[in-house]
Amino acid sequence: MMLLLDIGNTNLRWALSDGGPPGEVRVVRHGGAVPIDLLADWELLDAPERVVASNVGGASVAAAIGRATRAYWGLDLDLVQTRARFGALSIAYPEPGRFGVDRWLALVAAHRLVPEAVLVVDAGTAATFDLLLADGRHLGGLILPGVEMMRASLLAGTLIPRIASEPTDEPWAADTGPAVAAGSLQAIGALATRLYDRLERETQTPPALILTGGDAERLIPAMDRPARVVPDLVLRGLFEVVSGEASDIG
């Protein structure tokens, strides 16, 4: 049994693997530390043989989680790092350490999930967009503020009142609150459409579009191209990397 962790900027996702793809995914907000409800869940677990993590949430949360895994099971936290190549996958960044490990693992999983070229949109605290050809060549990507960060920065820099509101299915709004809510989603959706169409022109065939991250489901109404939501994409990539390491050792 292996415990897989995806430590994001805001949320921590975790799942167990018994030698196959990740099982049920649990999500908690970490706040830079170990959430109490996470520890309560872990108290009920049988001891895993290994704890493997992807971390973009910072050193402090990784250290805190490492202390917890050692206290519970005597296991150190094994942090995966971005690699320039993994199988047929090769990233565009000349310095792999500057490419977020969560983005890399999402590409690892996407390359396994679909045979065609793919645009991966990870809608979390930041919204990232990565383009991958069918042969595993990563073309590069773009980064925007995520949905909540986009809204918060707009409200912080203006006198627009803070009105809690969710967008409708309409592409525009008739009041300020819904206009702000819809605008953040439509901005991410519009960039996804633009990149999808550029990738289609590059490959001369329709690519896949995979959405992941905490706001993936909220983006669906703003998408103009067929999209598939894979909430555990990073954890799937983590499993693929660990499985690949085991195969290499074997």
Catalytic residue list contains 41: no
Q: Which pLDDT value is given to residue 166? A: 62
102 labelled as ligand-binding?
Answer: yes
101 among annotated binding-site residues:
yes
Kindly state which CATH superfamily the domain 2-79 is placed in: ATPase, nucleotide binding domain (3.30.420.40)
Q: Does the annotation place 57 within a ligand binding site?
A: no
Does 212 show up as a binding residue in the annotation?
no
pLDDT of residue 249: 38
Nearest to 121 by CA among 212, 34, 185: 212
Tell me the C-alpha distance between 60 and 146, whole Å: 23
Task: Please tell me the predicted confidence (pLDDT) of residue 157.
Answer: 85
On whether 55 is known to bind a ligand per the annotation, the reply is no
**Residue segments in the chain with a per-residue pLDDT below the cut of 70:** 162-170, 246-250
Portions of the chain given CATH number 3.30.420.40: 2-79, 116-231
Distance CA 240, CA 110 (A): 11
Q: Known binder of ligand: residue 7?
A: yes
- Predicted pLDDT at 158: 82
- Number of C-alpha atoms within 13 angstroms, CB side, residue 228? 13
Class of domain 116-231: alpha beta
6 annotated as ligand-binding: yes
From the candidates 18, 41, 78, 102, give the one annotated as an active-site residue. Answer: 102
Structure tokens at 54: 């992807």
What is residue 41's predicted lDDT score, i.e. its pLDDT?
Answer: 92
Per-residue pLDDT of 33-69, as tens digits, reads 888 888 999 999 999 999 999 999 999 999 999 999 9
Rg (CA), the chain: 19
Is residue 231 within 8 Å of residue 239, measured between CB atoms? no
Element (H, E) at 163: none
* Strands across the sheet containing 208-212: 138-145, 126-132, 118-123, 208-212, 228-229
Residue 158 in marked binding region: no
Placement of tokens 């509101």 in the chain: 165
Q: Are 133 and 92 in contact (CB under 8 A)?
A: no
